[in-house]
Amino acid sequence: MNLGRYSEAVDSFDHAIACNPDDAGIWSTRGAALDRLGKYPEAVASYYQAITISPNNADVWISRGDTLDRIGRYLDAVASYDKAIVINPDSADAWNKRGVALHHLGWYSEAIIAHDKAISLNPDSAEAWNNRGYALGNLGKYADALDSFGKAIAINPDDARAWYARGFVSYSMGQYSDGVDSFDKAISLDPDDANTWYARGFGLFKMGEFTDAITSYDKAIAINPDFTEAKENREIALQRKK
């Protein structure tokens, strides 16, 4: 649905609410449409109305948390996810998103606990395994992070983000060849990501493969002509190649 459609939908919901102001479902759906329009404070207010009418709907608390997380109100997002979890302790989605908000706060250990709970409820959630890997990586637990990304990739081998993250963790462990292999896979899935080409070039540079590194930097620059770091590293690789 394009933005015009969402705007029309909000107008329709407003008319429906005028006729039936106590319908929590309309308020909630209106909040979702406002969120898609980028009208986040209005979306939060709409979710609040839905919750006031029907406070035991875990899904609405989760949606409210998602919007709060998007606007950087991470503590409030955690509180919303906590409400959802009180209502439905077996919601893997709420636990996973709680972990993401905690990660945004820099509370990585607490985030891992939340992701572990999400995984215990839904072990086939590639997203939860990915998010767990990010938190572990930020704690410097690279081997565990690599294992988490491996689990995510086993579930969804076509997720370029997981391969990208795995590549960076490999670099952090000094495993540049393995990292380049991961970035190669990420590129095969999403060839238009300048950051992935740049990261591939960095690993090749570290391995002394300057010609291939330059080729990767060229790809990054072709995609993003304003990529200053890629241009600088390309010049360094050219000097080393001589």
> Where are the chain's structural domains?
1-55, 71-157, 174-242
Amino acid, res. 101: A
Angle of helix 176-189 versus helix 160-172 axis, rounded to 10: 170
Give 80's Cβ-side CA count (13 Å radius): 26
**Which residues of the chain are modeled with pLDDT < 70?**
1-4
Cα 212 to Cα 233: distance, rounded to the nearest angstrom: 13
User: CATH classification of 1-55 is 1.25.40.10, yes or no?
Assistant: yes
Closest alpha carbon to 24 in 33, 13, 34? 13
DSSP-assigned states of every residue in 182-220: HHHHHHHH-TT-HHHHHHHHHHHHHTT-HHHHHHHHHHH
- Please give the structure tokens belonging to residue 218: 């060229």
Task: Show Cβ contacts of residue 190 under 8 Å, excluding neighbours closer than 6 positions.
Answer: 160, 196
State the pLDDT at residue 12. 83
Using the structure block, give the residue that is written with the tokens 């107008």.
11
71-157 matches 1-55 in CATH topology? yes
Cα 139 to Cα 149: distance, rounded to the nearest angstrom: 15
List pLDDT tens digits, range 85-119.
999 999 999 999 999 999 999 999 999 999 999 99
State the pLDDT at residue 1. 45
State the pLDDT at residue 20. 82
| CATH code for the domain defined by 174-242 | 1.25.40.10
Cα 132 to Cα 114: distance, rounded to the nearest angstrom: 9
213 alpha carbon, distance to own chain's centre: 28
50 alpha carbon, distance to own chain's centre: 26
Global pTM value:
0.89
**Architecture of domain 71-157 in CATH?**
Alpha Horseshoe (1.25)
Q: Do residues 169 and 199 make contact, with C-beta atoms less than 8 angstroms apart? A: no
